[in-house]
């Protein structure tokens, strides 16, 4: 598992369910809500602390990076 993580590191989005950013990105295609996203991943929202970040990732996957991210990317 560590070897797998080191090949493709990914931050945790949801601690309660152990969801990583890549899980959320992969499951985001075609979903319209966080509830639908979590259902696709086979988990339920528990504490709710992750939903805003999950929604950001979901929107970014659908629409491309946010303007803030694009500016940082252009400068770097
Ligand atoms: S961190 Fe995702 S439900 Fe708690």
**pLDDT at residue 49, rounded to an integer:** 97
Ligand 1 pocket, 37 CB below 6 A?
Answer: no
| Nearest atom, ligand 1, residue 44 CA | 3
The string of pLDDT tens digits covering residues 4-59 is: 656 667 899 999 999 999 999 999 999 999 999 999 999 999 999 999 999 999 99
Distance CA 56, CA 66 (A): 9
Distance CA(55)–CA(45), nearest Å, equals: 12
**CA gap 24, 57 in Å, rounded:** 7
Minimal-distance CA residue to ligand 1 atom 1: 14
d(CA 9, CA 75): 24
What distance in angstroms lies between residue 56's CA and the mean position of ligand 1's atoms?
15
Q: How far is the C-alpha of 12 from the C-alpha of 23, rounded, in Å?
A: 9
Domain hosting 61: range is: 2-75
- Please report, for the domain that includes residue 28, its CATH number: 1.10.10.1100
- Measured in Å, residue 70 CA sits from the centre of ligand 1 at 27
The confidence band for 63, taking pLDDT boundaries of 50, 70 and 90, is: confident
Biggest alpha carbon–alpha carbon distance for the chain? 38
Report which of residues 24 and 69 the model is more confident about: 24
pLDDT of residue 53: 95
Q: Which is more confident, 2 or 59? A: 59
Number of domains comprising the chain: 1
């Amino acid at each position: 598992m560590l070897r797998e993580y080191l090949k493709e590191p990914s931050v945790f989005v949801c601690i309660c369910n152990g969801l990583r950013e890549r899980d959320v990105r992969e499951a985001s295609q075609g979903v319209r809500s966080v509830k639908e996203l979590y259902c696709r991943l086979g988990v339920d929202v528990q504490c709710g602390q992750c939903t805003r970040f999950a929604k950001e990732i979901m929107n970014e996957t659908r629409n491309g990076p946010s303007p803030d991210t694009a500016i940082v990317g252009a400068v770097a």
